[in-house]
Structure 1
Amino acid sequence: MSEALIQVKQLVKYFPVNNGLFGKASGQVQAVDSVDLTIRKGETFGLVGESGSGKSTIGRMLLRLGEKTGGEVRYNGIDLYALSREELRLLRPEIQMVFQDPYSSLNPRIRVGEAIGEALVEHGISNKKEVRERVLEVMNLCGLASHHIDRFPHEFSGGQRQRIGIARAIALNPSFIVADEPVSALDVSIQAQIINLLNDLQETRNLTYLFISHDLSVVEHLCSTIGVLYLGSLVEVSGRDDLFCNPLHPYTRALLSAVPIADPTVKREKIILKGDIPSPLNPPSGCKFHTRCPLAQEVCQVERPVLRDVGSGHLVACHLV
């Protein structure tokens, strides 16, 4: 087993809610609540869950694109939140992000070549004479033609813009990339191309990914380890095959029951969860899922389950397991 590249311990992120004339804090949105996870070198860790479960917030915290409320995030043994601004700037080329919306993440007023190459100059990786050659190299790796270098973002399709976003991320030769729903805004055929591109880049450049998605069929194809997030807390973490063949948490089972099956002869019972996801302003006591769980018992309402290993590295936070 490869060594850990990212180690997260008891990560917490709360956003204050300010109301009233003087902006007094009236509560906190508990976006991320005591999350532990480990991402090993060379793997793709998939993070799944409903919208609003805290997936993107965790991704941003892992790159220190915002301040945490509590906990610890380590990259290669380095505590990211203990670094000074200058120390973080020196480390920044090693940890990059591919954003969900490829258009809004690009400046519409600058050409693609400049968008990809500006970080190379800023971090002193290439001088202005070398940068064009380096940009053309990564564009070629990402399936973009050389004549695209002088075009503006609006001249590209959604799939091409996402390739530009990926090229911009790998231009700095990072070790770790957070891919935040990078294919959710794309057509299915284009999704397959981007997924294959991410796979190829991982093999050739020894990349490690945190892949954030709500699409379990995409996660099944790309990820080696999967974490299931509910209302800011991990409820299950396992290897891909074990999770899809033997889901243990009721929430994971409900998510998997909604994944379409290509074979019409195979029938799967669809689990319909009752109610809506609770507000992170006032999450339920005990197990956060108990208000929607068809198997909830009295203990679930009062005692919060901890994420524990039930065998072969399969982690689950449920009183029923």
Structure 2
Amino acid sequence: MSEALLEINHLKKYFPIKSGLLNRTVGQVKAVDDISITLQPGETFGLVGESGSGKSTVGRTVLRLTEKTAGEVKYKGIDLYSLSAQELRKLRPKMQLIFQDPYSSLNPRVRVGDAIGEALLDHGLVPGGEVRERVEEVLASCGLSSYHIDRFPHEFSGGQRQRIGIARALVLNPDLIIADEPVSALDVSIQAQIINLFRKLQETRGLTYLFISHDLSVVEHLCSRIGVMYLGSMMETASRDELFRNPLHPYTKALLSAVPVPIPKLKRERIVLKGDIPSPANPPSGCKFHTRCPYATDICKEEVPEFRDAGGNHYVACHLV
């Protein structure tokens, strides 16, 4: 096996809760609580879970857009948190982020060509006279035309804006792309087009994706491996086919039961979870999911389950497995 492109080991990100006149820390929001993921070159890893499970915080912490609390993040064996600001800046072009809302991530006063080409100039990757040609090339690879280069963001549809966001990441020729809910704000038909674009770009450019989503039906079509997060912790990881064929964690089963069935005759039992997701500032003891789990026992309330291999690189954190 080749060297891993990205290694996330026991990553934690806690946000302090401040209170009082002295602004003292009175608690912590455990947004990411001991997450480990390994991505091989050319792989697509899907990170799924409900809103508030910590998926986006994982992506931002990996890229050092927010600093970690504990753990390590390695890119091609290099510990990103051991690098100085100048050393990290040199690696930035190789690790790019695609945002959930393409419109809010674009400056409405800046033409699309300038927004895409800005990073090329900032990092000194191409001479100024070649920027327009490079931008037109990457726009074409994302399904847009050369005349789009002089337009402003408000002149595009939602799907076109997301293509612009993808082009802005691609123009730096990255190895790793972290896509944070990149299709959740789009219509279903446009979602399919963007997913196909992700696939095409991966085949032609050899990209590696960390694909963050709450929609398992989207993840199923794009990802080779999937990790299920709940309240900052990883509940289950497996290959796509294994996870959909044989989900082991009750939370994964509940998420899968909500995926629409393409053939109406194939009925699927709907699992409705009771209650709301607890606050990450005060997570439950033991297994974090036990307050909503229909199969919880006393041990689930008292002991944190070990994340272990259930066979065939199918890992699960559940006392019932």
Where do 1:124-203 residues align within 5 Å?
124-203=124-203
Give 2:204's aligned residue. 204
Report the residue type matching 1:286 in the other structure: G
Contact 2:3 2:76 in 1 (8 A): no
1:37 lines up with 2:69 in the alignment: no
The 2-side partners of 1:254 and 1:140 are apart by: 41
The 2-side partners of 1:228 and 1:269 are apart by: 20
Contact 2:177 2:209 in 1 (8 A): yes
The 2-side partners of 1:207 and 1:2 are apart by: 15
How many residues of Structure 1 are paired with residues of Structure 2 in the alignment? 321
Give 1:310's aligned residue. 310
The 1-side partners of 2:2 and 2:154 are apart by: 41
Give 2:49's aligned residue. 49
Q: Report deviation, 1:3.
A: 3.6
Q: Report deviation, 1:193.
A: 0.6
The 2-side partners of 1:79 and 1:203 are apart by: 28
Equivalent position SS for 2:299: helix
Q: Report deviation, 1:23.
A: 2.1
Equivalent position SS for 2:17: strand
**Offset from partner CA, 1:57-111 (integer Å, 9 cap, x none):** 0011111111000000001100000000000000000000000000011111110
Q: Report deviation, 1:22.
A: 3.0
> Over aligned residues, Cα RMSD in angstroms?
0.8
Report the residue type matching 1:76 in the other structure: K
Contact 2:138 2:170 in 1 (8 A): yes
The 2-side partners of 1:305 and 1:38 are apart by: 21
The 1-side partners of 2:307 and 2:208 are apart by: 24
Report the residue type matching 1:292 in the other structure: R
Give 1:286's aligned residue. 286
**Offset from partner CA, 1:173-214 (integer Å, 9 cap, x none):** 000000000000001111111100010000000000000000
If the length of structure 1 is used for normalisation, what is the TM-score? 0.99
**Same amino acid, percent of matched pairs:** 71
Q: Report deviation, 1:2.
A: 4.6
The 1-side partners of 2:39 and 2:237 are apart by: 11
Equivalent position SS for 1:36: strand
Give 2:120's aligned residue. 120
**Offset from partner CA, 1:220-266 (integer Å, 9 cap, x none):** 00000000000000000000000000000000000000111010111
Q: Report deviation, 1:25.
A: 1.8
1:27 lines up with 2:12 in the alignment: no
**Offset from partner CA, 1:18-58 (integer Å, 9 cap, x none):** 12233222211000001111111101000000000000000
Give 1:234's aligned residue. 234
